[in-house]
Structure 1
Amino acid sequence: MTLPVRRGGPLAERRLPGWGTDPLTEFNDLFGRMGTLLESTMGGAMGPMTQGMAWSPLADLSETDDAYLVEVEVPGVKREDLDIEMTERELTITGEFKERERTGMLRRSTRRTGRFEYRAALPGDINPEHIEATLEGGVLTVTVPKAGTTEARHIEITSGH
């Protein structure tokens, strides 16, 4: 399950009547702490059970006048380790962050590895023939053009009163 990520900005430190700061900021902090606690306490014990399960990388979905733009953070992933599929109006990006070989003992790791999957349902009609994808600086950018809009035309009434 993908959860929304609130980033800083004008609402991050907004003060509301009766609250010290925006309650969602406090919730995000609590949620992050709970996630860290669960990973540190259950991570090793749940490893075999969760192995093979995909997680979702950070991504942005934006819309311009003529296309949908999906930017997914995949630092260190090679393009041959990525797969992009488009069905109807759903975009699916899958891939794998491979564990690198290390020397010495790893004391702590907070980076995710393994299979990941990102899905996005696009809100409008698309042109699947002209979808483009680029991988640059650890960010996969998929541009999905919108279907050509038809111009409005006048429809004449042929029968009736």
Structure 2
Amino acid sequence: MSVRDLIPWGRSTNTPVPSAVRTEPVSPFLTLHREMNRLFDDVFSGFGGIPTAAGRSLAWPSVEMVEAEGGLRVSAELPGMDEKDVELLIDDDVLTLRGEKRAEATDKERGYSERSYGRFERVIALPFAVESDKVEASFKNGVLSVTLPRSAKAPERGRRIPINGAKPH
């Protein structure tokens, strides 16, 4: 075994172990050790969200919400998907993004894969009422962008409540 075998390549960066030309046989114990390290890394790296059976968190796809002039812009990362695989709904100030990511190869053709496939749904509560008939969406390079204009007749949500100081007894 060489010192190179002991270096934990990619454990924190999710990059694959580099394929070096080996002159000595691979130890089954070393293989088991690497697989156990990968298993623990996969489990403990999911604390940002609840891991699912597919290996991604329940908050997939990743979204970004930016309050723009007169409304809201929501962007969702959907790599490897087309617009025909995605459905976008708006109802009662809730934006729903759902779809299905399909495998490109069959199980018989695929030897090894770290990619995840299947149905997904992401429900996003909007911070204000929007004009649903003026919502626009575009899909480019695996990123879905949705522009949601604020409704002019929307009532102001929430009310500031003054806090009174404590009165002496």
For normalisation by structure 2, the TM-score amounts to 0.54
- The C-alpha deviation readout for 1:101-135, integer Å capped at 9, x for no partner, is 1575422x222210111111111121111000100
Q: List alignment gaps of at least 5 residues for structure 2.
A: 1-38, 46-51, 155-169
Quote the Cα distance in structure 2 between the aligned partners of 1:106 and 1:76.
19
CA distance in 1: counterparts of 2:110 and 2:150, whole angstroms: 50
Deviation at 1:149, TM superposition (A): 5.9
Distance 2:116 2:67 in 1: 29
CA distances 1:66-116 after superposition (whole Å, capped 9, x unpaired): 111110111121211111110111000000110111575422x22221011
Task: Tell me: CA distance 1:128–1:74, structure 2 relative to 1, closer, same or farther (3 Å).
Answer: same
Which structure ranks higher in relative contact order (CA pairs < 8 Å, sequence separation ≥ 6)?
Answer: 1
**Any unmatched runs of 5+ in structure 1?**
1-32, 40-45, 151-161
Q: Percent identity?
A: 26
Q: Please tell me whether the aligned partners of residues 55 and 115 of structure 1 are also in contact (alpha carbons under 8 angstroms).
A: no
SS in 1 for 2:147: strand
**Larger Cα-atom Rg:** 2
CA distance in 1, matches of 2:104, 2:59: 19
Confirm whether residue 99 of structure 1 aligns to residue 133 of structure 2: no
Provide closer, same or farther for how the CA distance between residues 35 and 83 of structure 1 changes in structure 2, counting only shifts above 3 A: farther
For 2:65 and 2:139, the matched residues in 1 are separated by 16
Number of aligned pairs? 106
Q: In structure 2, what residue type is equivalent to 1:60?
A: E
Equivalent residue number for residue 83 of structure 2: 79
Q: Structure 1 runs of 4+ off > 4 angstroms?
A: 102-105
Is residue 82–residue 142 contact of structure 2 (8 Å, CA) maintained in 1?
A: no
1:36 aligns with 2:37: no
SS in 1 for 2:61: coil
TM-score of the pair, normalised by structure 1: 0.57
